[in-house]
């Protein structure tokens, strides 16, 4: 396989796609469709010529997203679908990212697609308050305190903050340690509004619409402010707004720029604006400096320490029947490096072990029979097969990034 040839095709696809998005945003629909179709053909060619190429999954998803956009334009502007447009016939590697069959540009599904696109904004943005409390979040006292100071204090006594206060908070750290949970708890604890969006879907599903929707998101947030309550916009997996470095095929740059513009807007204007952006990421090093600067508070959500691991084991084993030999302190000691989410998985793992045994014995269907108590050996066996999901190197990388960028 020639990587050079693949690179050329990739460059072509990028060129066509950005041109298509530019034309699309200017309302030149016919020309935009042509460009999208060129981008699709090129991506399809790439996937066929190099079925093993590591980016194929991404290309396939891109091509499908462009195709959706073409259908949407055609339907919205009464443009007849063309039957000679590129058709998908994808190698099996990508089957898990679509329904598995070829996608057709023709067919009478147009208005449906427009409906779907219209629905997409409300679908991707969740404004309901999550059902998580501060106390459900084990440990992480520093993070909780920092968030309280940052959001609750200025809201209660804005007059004390003569120099203003930060509106952007970045939560970063290894996966499964409570970033999403903390943001949810913040929302539940304040008497205000919470808007939650997943950055990855802004980029992938709102293709070509991405920047418009980022603007819409912030417009909506500003409208909610009129109730004189704080509004929190939570953007999970915020690193995906920047795209995969050097592999921009769609509109990520514009989505990112729009996001920077919007966050500037809330940081500069109106001293008493209670609009906050909480971003979460487990890849802080993929954020660039302009981006980092928009989050004056940067808080690491680390792996749980000994005490927090003990509390997590206590929490998740509370409903289980444990044998006397199970010591929570010992469990906490032997689980260094495991995340909160790992600990939950371990507890579910031991539960499954005893339930599985009961089913094997054939007694499970008798509602009176309980599973046997869980022993220390069960925990140790489960932990042997379930290693920590964060490696020591990864863990060090967070600490290193923190030493340069943490801002409490």
Residues 368-397 that bind Mg ion (CB under 5 A): none
Burial tier of 222 (Cβ tally within 10 Å: 0-12, 13-18, 19+)? middle
The count of chain residues that interact with Mg ion, using the rule CB under 5 A, is 2
Burial tier of 162 (Cβ tally within 10 Å: 0-12, 13-18, 19+)? exposed
138 binds, among Mg ion, ligand ATP, none (CB under 5 to 8 A by kind): ligand ATP
| Rounded CA separation 281/274 (Å) | 23
| Rounded CA separation 331/307 (Å) | 11
340 binds, among ligand ATP, Mg ion, none (CB under 5 to 8 A by kind): ligand ATP
Q: Which is nearer to ligand ATP, 132 or 195 (CB)?
A: 132
Residue ranges binding ligand ATP (CB under 6 A): 137-140, 175-181, 280, 282, 301, 312, 340-341, 344
- Output the six-digit token pair for 29: 């629909």
250 binds, among Mg ion, ligand ATP, none (CB under 5 to 8 A by kind): none
Q: How far is the CB of 346 from ligand ATP (least distance, A)?
A: 11
Q: Which is nearer to ligand ATP, 144 or 256 (CB)?
A: 144
280: part of which helix (H) or strand (E)? strand 275-281
337 binds, among Mg ion, ligand ATP, none (CB under 5 to 8 A by kind): none
Residue 241 contacts residue 259 (beta carbons within 8 Å): yes
Q: How far is the CB of 252 from Mg ion (least distance, A)?
A: 20
Q: What is the CA radius of gyration of the chain?
A: 25
Q: How far is the CB of 109 from ligand ATP (least distance, A)?
A: 34
Q: Which is nearer to ligand ATP, 63 or 177 (CB)?
A: 177
Q: Which is nearer to ligand ATP, 179 or 294 (CB)?
A: 179
Q: How far is the CB of 35 from Mg ion (least distance, A)?
A: 36
Q: How far is the CB of 122 from ligand ATP (least distance, A)?
A: 23
Q: What are the backbone dihedrals phi and psi of residue 198, each rounded to the nearest 5 degrees, phi first?
A: -105, 115
Residue facing ligand ATP at closest CB distance: 340
Longest dimension (CA), the chain: 73
Q: Which is nearer to ligand ATP, 45 or 344 (CB)?
A: 344
Q: How far is the CB of 301 from ligand ATP (least distance, A)?
A: 6
Nearest partner of 221 among 252, 184, 258, 194, judged by Cα: 194
Task: Give me the helix-helix angle, 3-25 and 56-76, nearest 10°.
Answer: 20
Q: How far is the CB of 184 from ligand ATP (least distance, A)?
A: 8
| Per-residue b or e along 181-212, where b marks 16 or more CB atoms closer than 10 Å to that residue's CB | bbbbbbbebbebbbbbbbbebbbbbbbbbbbb
Q: Which is nearer to Mg ion, 36 or 295 (CB)?
A: 295
Residues 163-182 that bind Mg ion (CB under 5 A): 179-180
Q: Which is nearer to ligand ATP, 75 or 138 (CB)?
A: 138
Instruction: Name the 3-class secondary structure at 126.
Output: strand
Residue ranges binding Mg ion (CB under 5 A): 179-180
């Amino acid at each position: 396989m020639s990587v050079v040839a693949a690179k050329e095709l990739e460059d072509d696809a990028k060129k066509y796609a950005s041109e298509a998005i530019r034309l699309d945003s200017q309302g030149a629909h016919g020309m935009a469709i042509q460009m999208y179709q060129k981008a699709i053909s090129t991506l399809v060619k790439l996937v066929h010529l190099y079925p093993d190429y590591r980016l194929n999954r991404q290309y396939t998803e891109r091509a499908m997203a462009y195709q959706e956009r073409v259908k949407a334009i055609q339907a919205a502007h009464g443009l007849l679908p063309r039957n000679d447009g590129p058709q998908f016939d994808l190698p099996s590697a990508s089957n898990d990212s679509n329904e598995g069959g070829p996608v057709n540009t023709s067919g009478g599904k147009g208005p449906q697609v427009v409906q779907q696109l219209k629905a997409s904004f409300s679908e991707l943005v969740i404004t309901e308050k999550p059902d998580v409390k501060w106390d459900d979040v084990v440990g992480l006292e520093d993070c909780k305190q920092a968030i309280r100071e940052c959001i609750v204090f200025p809201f209660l006594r804005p007059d004390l903050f003569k120099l203003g206060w930060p509106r952007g908070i970045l939560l970063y750290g290894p996966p499964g340690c409570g970033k999403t949970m903390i943001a949810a708890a913040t929302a539940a604890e304040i008497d205000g509004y919470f808007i939650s969006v997943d950055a990855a879907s802004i980029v992938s599903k709102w293709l070509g619409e991405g920047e418009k929707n980022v603007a819409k998101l912030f417009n909506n947030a500003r409208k909610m402010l009129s109730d004189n309550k704080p509004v929190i916009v939570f953007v999970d997996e915020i690193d995906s707004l920047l795209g995969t470095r050097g592999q921009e095929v769609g509109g990520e740059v514009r989505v990112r720029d729009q996001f920077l513009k919007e966050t500037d807007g809330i940081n500069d204007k109106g001293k008493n604006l209670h609009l906050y952006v909480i971003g979460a990421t487990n890849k802080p090093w993929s954020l660039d400096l302009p981006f980092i600067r928009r989050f004056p508070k940067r808080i690491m959500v680390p792996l749980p320490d000994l005490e927090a691991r003990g509390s997590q084991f206590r929490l998740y084993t509370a409903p289980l029947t444990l044998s006397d030999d199970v010591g929570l302190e010992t469990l906490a000691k032997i689980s260094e490096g495991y995340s909160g989410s790992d600990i939950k998985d371990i507890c579910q793992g031991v539960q499954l072990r005893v339930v599985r045994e009961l089913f094997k014995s054939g007694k499970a269907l008798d509602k009176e029979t309980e599973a046997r108590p869980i022993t220390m050996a069960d925990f140790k066996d489960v932990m042997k097969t379930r290693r920590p999901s964060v490696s020591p190197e990864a863990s060090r990388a967070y600490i290193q990034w923190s030493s340069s960028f943490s801002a409490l």
